[in-house]
Every structure is written in C-alpha cells, then in structure tokens.
Structure 1
Amino acid sequence: MPVPDATVPDATVLRCDGRAVADYVHRPRLPATLSPRPYLHPVRTFGGRVVTELRPADHAHHLGVSVAVPDVAGVNFWGGRTYVRDRGPVALDNHGAQEHAGWPRREPDGCDEELSWAREGRELLRERRTFGTRALSADAWVLHFASTLTNVSGADLSIGSPATNGRPGAGYGGFFWRAPKEDAADPPPEVFTATASGEDAVHGSTAEWLALAGRDWTLVFAGADERTRRDPWFVRTGQYPGVGSSLAWERRLPLAAGAVVSRRFRTVVADGRLDRPAAAALARAAATHFPDVRITG
C-alpha cells in the first residue's frame, strides 16, 4: 500500500490560462462511510462561479468531481448506504478507499496520478488518472478527465450498481459531477442534449453530449472516445443536480484478473446559461483541444 509523503500538500490548484479554476484534493480527510477518494472542489467558471458541491446535506458522500463506484466485488467506493436486493439501501461495513500513490506528472494545468483502490489492506484496483485544462473563450474552459482502472486483486472482479442489484434506473457509478443547488426561489438546472430535454428524457440516454444549465453557469459533458460514449448518462435535476456516466447501467461489468477498463471525458465549464446551439458549439470546440483517442476496455 502507498505510504503518504508528509512533505506533499494535500491539494493541488489547477489552472487554466494562468487562472485558478479548481482545487484537486488528493488526500482527503473523510470518515470511512464516505468512501474516501480524491476529488475536484471547488471547480469555478472563469467568472468565479462555483459549479461543484462538497458533502451537501442531501448526500454527504457526494464529493465534487470524482470517480465513485458503489459496488466493486461488494466493496462500496461510492459512500453512504449500499443497495441490497430485496432489502433496499442498507448501512454496511463495506467501504473502500482510493489512496493517492504518486504523481507521474504534476503541472499547473494538468496532472497524471496513480491511485490504489483498497479495502482493509487488500488492493482491488490500481488507477491511472489524467486531468487537464484548456481555455475555449473568455467565458469557457474545458476539463479533460481520463481514468484507467486495472484489476490487480489477483482474481476476477465485477463492477455493479444499485440497478444491477435490483433498483431500476439507478445505474450510477464511474465519473460523477455533483453540481450546486440553486437558491430555493430558482427552478432546478435545465438538462438537455442535442435532441432531448428534461431529466426523464435524458436520464439513461447515450447522447454525444449533455448540458446542465443553471441560472448563471453551464456544464457541457461529452465522452472523449467511442467506448465512453456508449455508456448511458446518469442524470438528476429534481432531487439534486448531478451528472455521471454509468459503468454498470443494467448489468454488471466483468473485470478479469489483470484486465483494464478506461473512460475519458470532456467537460466544458462556462459562465452564463447557454442554449442548445451554444452548448453544441462548445462541445465541438472542446473536441479540438482534447481529440478522441482510441482505447479498449
């Protein structure tokens, strides 16, 4: 298991075009029930609007932008309760933790990180995480986020979700962005794709891009390779605002010993409430800065 280096700060300031746009906390101090893991928070627009939320009252285990999986061979790397078939959400002593293991590259506008996913001293997965920024305009920038998970447990594993354990429509697990709630007097953020609008219409879709638009901010999410774009989007706006991409939407994802699963994302962070044409244009612009790379897994 990795040994923390006390001389390395717990957080890194991520910059874009010289401006601080996010803090990446790689050694969080969190209780075990939150499945401790590195996260990005706060993430800001160029105008300074915070577009993430950390440990909100409605879901204390939501940690800004992170990679969170509720079921890796029965280990909870999401936090909170575990959905058990025929029982519902249950508080179990099954939480794992993602531990920072090193920086192959650490620069102001992007990093490569090694992480260990473990439970009680047993390492299940080793992750290579890459993230970086590029400016798109005076009002928008793009975050590239890639995650490659390798099964290092020595045995076959599988990745599941509440949906695979009996809760239809709850196929969350993977890249997840918790956005902030608006003021009580404001309506929930609007969510839309190129062809559909509203939570019911876009939840579970495999759209090329998906936008979440608040009162004065917009996030535009897109898979950055063909394999990632085949994963359905997990979307919430009514109960809380959040967007993720599902690794196990309806069936468990098998991961043989030594096997690898990779996903890549582009997220545009923009000031202002954008309409469909503007969101589509930014999705196209982001692709020119972080083009698709063919991957397997």
Structure 2
Amino acid sequence: MNDDSPVLRIGGRPVARYVTRPALPDRLSPRPYLHPVTTLAGTAVTELAPADHTHHLGVGVAVPDVEGHNFWGGRTYVRDRGPTELDNHGTQRHSGFRLREPEGFVEELRWTAAGTELLRERRTVTAVALTGTAWALDFAFSLTNVTARALTIGSPATNGRPGAAYGGFFWRARRERDAPRVFTADAEGEEAAHARPADWLALAGAGWTLVLAGATAETRRDPWFVRAAEYPGVGSSLAHDRRLTVEAGDTFTRRVVTVVADGTLDRTGAAGLVREAVSP
C-alpha cells in the first residue's frame, strides 16, 4: 500500500484502489477517487474518465456548484445558457490520513477554489466482508464550511435544468452493451427510480450487481440520481429541488453503503444483503 494509492482488501483480496493525488487537468476538477472497484471474482464495476463523460472518476464525491465553483468537472450548467465552459473548477486536496488499515481509511481533505479553502472534509471508507460472493463499500463524508459566511450547494436542477440534480456521492458504473437493470424495493426501471428517495437502489449488469443504500436519515431523504440508458451511473442528490445551505462553521454528513455482488441479484437478495451491510 503506497501513499498515493492505498488498496482496500477483503480477506487479503484486493477489491478497490484509492487514488489520493491524481494528475488531472483543472477541467476535470481534480479529486481523489476509487478505481478500479471490483467484485470478489475480479469483475470491474467502475469506470475512469470514460469517453462519454471524461470527468466521471470511479467512485467519490463530486459537486457541480459550491457558490458557483465546479467540483464535478466538465461544463457548468448556467441558467438560460445551458452547459458552458467556465474557468471555475475547484480541487479536492488530500491533506492526510488519520487512519489506514487494509480494509479502509479515514482521510482529511480540503476543498479549494480560486485560491480559497471553502470546505474541509473527513472521509471514512471501509470494505466490509458479507458473503463469499458479495462485499460492501461503506463510504461516509462530512463537509464543514470553513469560511466566515454561509455557503450554498446547488446542482444543474436548482440552476434550471430539470431532472439533473446530480452532486454528492457518485458511482460511475461499468458500461456494457446493454444498459443495467435499475430497481428499488418498489420501483422498476430508470424513470421510476430517478429523482426519488428510496432506502436502497440497485444496478444489475451482466454478472454483477450494485446495491446502494442510504445509511443515515439525511442520506435516505436525498433522492437518487440515476442514469442507465445514456450511461451507467448513480448517486445521491444533495441539492434536488433547492440549494443546500451550510452556515459558517457548520458540518453536514452523508453515508452510502454499496453492496458489490457477483451475479444478478433479485429484490429479495438485494434487500437481504443491504440489511446485513447497513446493520449496526
């Protein structure tokens, strides 16, 4: 395990690599990410900088609008103009690990833009053993406003683009010939699951399944942002229909636990693994 790319392991088996200091152009909003993330059988279930969206970086935290600064990468959605190339990209800078073990770590990060630190983050990531064919990635982050004034977090949806409330925890999944199946406990398909809260949401591809679950009350209230037909990706929406305000000195926390399974799970199997993964 080196300083820049610690590897998470389950029973000695590598299941994810974490890159803390990626060499990326400013346009991609440089930030730490997990890639590749794999099933226990070795199937990769993430993508890094795919041709369709080069700013999608495996698994991590990405926010398109923090007081007008882009921590998502790519173009910025501007009201009445649409997606626009702007010189407004921020950077999430790794400042150190408070804890590092084979199965996970606790990391400190600083979110800076235009030479100013806006947010300070504590990120806790753990690989959790579940069964012989499934494990879970437990990903929590707490963001603190370190400025002297309130900050607001937005999304393209809050800036005028309907259905595009992305921003927060985000998982860019494996792209295959066919789009993955999307389902929750009571909804089927991308359209039915998108922009709605649910205790858990699954993407099932060819021989693999991801089941994402909100593990705090706040995360469970956040609607899911889902893409399957255009590209496979899912995340929780911090700013769905209104901007999220973070007062000076205040902290907010989100936690998403993702089951990473070999094979194609049904609803019963997905729900059972989520209960095991999220249980205290």
Say whether 1:237 aligns with 2:231.
no
Deviations 1:215-271 (CA, angstroms, capped at 9, x unpaired): 110000001111110000000000000000000001000111111111011100000
Cα distance between partner residues in 1 of 2:114 and 2:216: 34
Q: Which residue does 2:190 correspond to in 1? A: 199
For 2:6, what is the secondary structure of its paired residue?
A: strand
Cα distance between partner residues in 2 of 1:61 and 1:99: 16
Q: Which residue does 1:109 correspond to in 2? A: 103
Say whether 1:89 aligns with 2:83.
yes
Cα distance between partner residues in 2 of 1:273 and 1:134: 20
5+ residue gaps, structure 2, are none
Cα distance between partner residues in 1 of 2:3 and 2:124: 18
Q: Which residue does 2:136 correspond to in 1? A: 142
- Deviating above 4 A after TM superposition, structure 1's stretches of 4 or more consecutive aligned residues are none
Say whether 1:128 aligns with 2:119.
no
Cα distance between partner residues in 2 of 1:155 and 1:28: 30
5+ residue gaps, structure 1, are 1-7, 292-297
For 2:261, what is the secondary structure of its paired residue?
A: strand
Residue identity matched to 1:161: S
How far 1:9 sits from its partner (Å)? Answer: 2.6
Say whether 1:221 aligns with 2:215.
no
Deviations 1:31-74 (CA, angstroms, capped at 9, x unpaired): 00000000000000000000000000000000000100000000
Contact 1:61 1:80 in 2 (8 A): yes
For 2:57, what is the secondary structure of its paired residue?
A: coil
How far 1:165 sits from its partner (Å)? Answer: 0.2
Deviations 1:139-167 (CA, angstroms, capped at 9, x unpaired): 00011100000000222110000000000
- Residue 73 (structure 2) aligned to one of 79, 83, 107: 79
Say whether 1:59 aligns with 2:53.
yes
How many residue pairs were aligned? 279
Residue identity matched to 1:57: A
Deviations 1:259-292 (CA, angstroms, capped at 9, x unpaired): 111101110000011111111111111123xx3x
Residue identity matched to 1:16: I
Cα distance between partner residues in 2 of 1:120 and 1:164: 23
Say whether 1:246 aligns with 2:240.
no
Say whether 1:156 aligns with 2:172.
no
Contact 1:17 1:134 in 2 (8 A): no
Contact 1:117 1:126 in 2 (8 A): yes
Q: Which residue does 1:5 correspond to in 2? A: none
Q: What is the percent sequence identity of the aligned residues?
A: 65
Q: Which residue does 1:3 correspond to in 2? A: none
Residue identity matched to 2:71: F
Residue identity matched to 1:86: D
Q: Which residue does 1:49 correspond to in 2? A: 43
Deviations 1:96-145 (CA, angstroms, capped at 9, x unpaired): 00000111101110100000000132000000000101111000001110
